[in-house]
Amino acid sequence: MTILGDPITSEAKPRARRWLVRVLAVLAIFGPGLIAANAGNDAGGILTYASAGAQFGYRTLFLMMLVTVGLVVVQEMCSRLGVYTGKGLGGLLREQFSVRSSSLALLLLLIANAGLTVSEFAGVGAAFDIFGVSRYVSIPLAAVAVWTLTVLGTYSRAERLFLVLSLAFLTYPIAAFLGHPGARQVASNLLWPHFLHTHAFLVIAVALIGTTITPYMQFYVASAVVDKGVRPEKYPSERVDTVSGAIWSDVISIFIIIATAAAIGGTGPLQSAQEAAKALEPVVGSAAPTLFGIGLLGASLLAASVVPLSTSYAIADAIGRPRSTSDSFRQAPLFYGLFTLQIAVGAGIALAPGNLVALVVNAQVLNGIITPMLLTYVLILANRRSVLGTAVNGRTFRVVATVSVTVIGLLSLLVLFQTVTGR
């Protein structure tokens, strides 16, 4: 006897399977680009965006729209360089520039990433402070966990974990909507600049640039697509990953600013992670500190893996040594040795007494000053037909990229000048 619903059920199953296959195909696209961009929403990123919202309300939103354009352009160039040359930025610097010039670039990256690695473990400490766990316990345990995952695991396992950790960022858009921000105010500040002509605003602007277009993200994504084995014929999918990852991460960043501005806008710079947690109160009420702590921990661990990896990729690549997370410690001793050293030093410095929030925000300002110098190298490489062939920057793309790098550079120089001269 045939049941009336059977034909429908038999037809529904193939449709469901086809739908599942399509969803999995879309998810399979995402990888290095999404990881690199979301790693930018690390401890320093979250606390810098939250501090911008707390200090200046919605005034930095238009700047974030411009920064998003810059991030998309830069990340796409780096991903394209990795795919079409089969080399990371470190190797390209060695081949295309003099020893002195390439050494300067690697030194700048090392300085920027050293500060960031400290700030990531400081973020771990700040997250566990919310739960009443001493930094002297949480930071060493986090360092061991990050080292074990990366050195004893494989790239594919690390990639899956990084993607899962990035889901913690989904809480901020919800908080932004439930915080009932002024819709007209938000729209006005998104579409038109409402900047303040003050040194404090300029400093936070450079910090936002530094935490969004972070140098390690460029080195990481170029090396990661090579490590993943992405070929030029597969680049359209990888480009989707890179561009969508950059946009997605900045959308989350904008929501962090909106949520914090709606909750505590105008109160001044953040003094603790607990203050930043107030932005999540519309979502979970009194559980906001717990949720924020979980999100901050996930963000910190994500970047605590990616930041040292980017340095190891670049330096090992520049001197022609093995540099893959698929290799063992014995196969790539320099690569893993550099990674281990950065983890140990970063965690050790983060254990020193002091204000953890101030530490991570200042690291972003340092990044903002270093970023335009490193982006100049990327722009030169992506403009060279001898490097990319037919995949070289087009005329329009070249103009947009040049303007982006120039503006970032001018802002950074202005902050540096004001800081040094005291004007």
- The predicted-structure confidence for 374-391, as pLDDT tens digits, reads as follows 999 999 999 999 999 999
pLDDT of residue 64: 93
Measure the CA–CA gap between 36 and 359, rounded to whole angstroms.
22
Q: What is the mean pLDDT of residues 174-199?
A: 88
- The predicted-structure confidence for 257-300, as pLDDT tens digits, reads as follows 999 999 888 888 777 788 888 888 887 788 888 888 887 887 78
pLDDT of residue 29: 47
Greatest Cα pair distance in the chain = 90
Give the chain's length.
423
Q: Is the pLDDT of residue 231 over 70?
A: yes
Q: What is the mean pLDDT of residues 304-311?
A: 83
- The predicted-structure confidence for 73-126, as pLDDT tens digits, reads as follows 998 999 999 999 998 888 898 889 988 898 898 888 888 888 889 888 988 998
Q: Which of 74, 46, 375 has the alpha carbon at shortest distance from 243?
A: 74
pLDDT of residue 166: 60
Measure the CA–CA gap between 216 and 309, rounded to whole angstroms.
9
- Asked if 26 contacts 240 with a C-beta cutoff of 8 angstroms, the reply is no
Q: Which of 337, 314, 364, 323 has the alpha carbon at shortest distance from 120?
A: 364
pLDDT of residue 148: 86
Q: Pick 332 or 160 by higher pLDDT.
A: 332
Q: Pick 412 or 162 by higher pLDDT.
A: 412
The tokens for 42 are 């690390």
Q: Is the pLDDT of residue 192 over 80?
A: yes
Q: Cα–chain-centroid distance for residue 170?
A: 15
Q: What is the mean pLDDT of residues 406-422?
A: 81
CB proximity list for 153: less than 8 A, separation 6 or greater: 325
pLDDT of residue 163: 61
Q: What is the pTM of this model?
A: 0.81
- The predicted-structure confidence for 4-57, as pLDDT tens digits, reads as follows 445 444 455 455 555 544 544 444 445 666 666 666 677 788 889 999 999 999
pLDDT of residue 341: 92
Residue indicated by tokens 């320099």: 334
Q: Is the pLDDT of residue 3 over 50?
A: no
pLDDT of residue 15: 57
Measure the CA–CA gap between 305 and 161, rounded to whole angstroms.
11
- The predicted-structure confidence for 328-371, as pLDDT tens digits, reads as follows 788 888 888 999 999 999 999 888 887 777 777 778 888 888 88
All domains of the chain, ordered by start, with CATH?
A: 39-262+269-421 (1.20.1740.10)
- Asked if 63 contacts 208 with a C-beta cutoff of 8 angstroms, the reply is yes
Q: What is the mean pLDDT of residues 120-145?
A: 90
Q: Is the pLDDT of residue 127 over 80?
A: yes
pLDDT of residue 419: 72
Could you give the count of Cα atoms lying within 13 Å of 130 in the half-sphere of its Cβ?
A: 24
Position 228 confidence tier, pLDDT thresholds 50, 70, 90: confident
Could you give the count of Cα atoms lying within 13 Å of 409 in the half-sphere of its Cβ?
A: 13
pLDDT of residue 114: 86
Q: Which of 86, 150, 105, 90 has the alpha carbon at shortest distance from 337?
A: 150
DSSP secondary structure letter of residue 5: T
